[in-house]
Amino acid sequence: MTENLESMPEDWESALVLAAHPDDVEFGSAGAVAVWTRKGHAVSYLLATRGEAGIDSMPPARAAGVREAEQRQAAARVGVSEVEFLDHPDGAVRAGEALRSDLVAAIRRVRPQLVVVFNHHERTGTGRWNAPDHREFGRCALDAVMDAGNRWILPEAGEPWSVKHLAVANSPQPTHALDISTGLDAAVASLEAHETYLGSLGYTREAVRPAVSGQAQATGARFGGVPAVAFELIPC
């Protein structure tokens, strides 16, 4: 494990955050997004699914609408208005040509300098086994970032675009971090927006702030002692 985390690069203007489900961003990097949008960076979200299989007590057809609405509210609380859903099946995301083509098209359309991908590793930052959707989607997203810059790969997906920085959120092997002192409250509010989903997991509203703050403080212990969000930066 890296002993000290370096500062996240700031030489970019727009970012695209890629994730498999609603709430993935809020559990990993919403504090960073809040800081970035306050500084004037343009940030948009792209989610593979609507998280329709995420609420045990609610049929998927209904849960999809609930989770989409909560995700849009969560995004708005950290300054993000552009949220796109690809409608791949929750729980059955596969790293194949269909998903890769969707992601390449999105990257070429949005043309971000920074792409943030949710953890694709076998384990999470806490050591737990990572969900299949996260692993499949994350690896496919990394491939899509590479392919987006090659005009001869998926030419029907638009004009090529080369990403400048690629960051993995919630990685078990982070390399960089961002001070989120000014974005911590927004990060808490963003996760709180997933009220229905969190309730289905047994989370209370009172538990959200300690969870977000505790994770930020733990990361900050390796980054100057300030609340922070960590990323694994992968060279492009």
User: 124-171, pLDDT tens digit by residue?
Assistant: 988 899 999 999 999 999 999 999 999 999 999 999 999 999 999 999
Q: Is residue 4 part of a domain?
A: no
In a domain, 50, yes or no: yes
Q: 198: domain range?
A: 12-234
* pLDDT for 28: 80
| Spatial distance between the Cα atoms of 116 and 128, rounded to a whole number of angstroms | 21
Residue 119, domain member (yes or no)? yes
Residue 233 has φ and ψ, to the nearest 5°, of: -90, 125
Is residue 109 domain-resident?
yes
- Whether residue 2 lies inside any domain: the answer is no
Residue 199 inside a domain? The answer is yes
What is the tally of structural domains in the chain? 1
The domain spanning residue 167 has which CATH number?
Answer: 3.40.50.10320
- For the chain, the C-alpha Rg in angstroms (whole number) is 17
Answer whether residue 65 is part of any domain: yes
Prediction pTM value: 0.96
The neighbour count for residue 230, using CB atoms within 10 Å, is 29
**Does some domain include residue 5?**
no
Which runs of E-coded beta strand occur in the chain?
A: 6-7, 14-19, 42-47, 82-85, 114-118, 165-169, 176-179, 228-234
Residue among 178, 165, 168 nearest 235 (CA): 165
pLDDT tens-place string over residues 58-114: 999 999 999 999 999 999 999 999 999 999 999 999 999 999 999 999 999 999 999
- 157 residue type, one letter: A
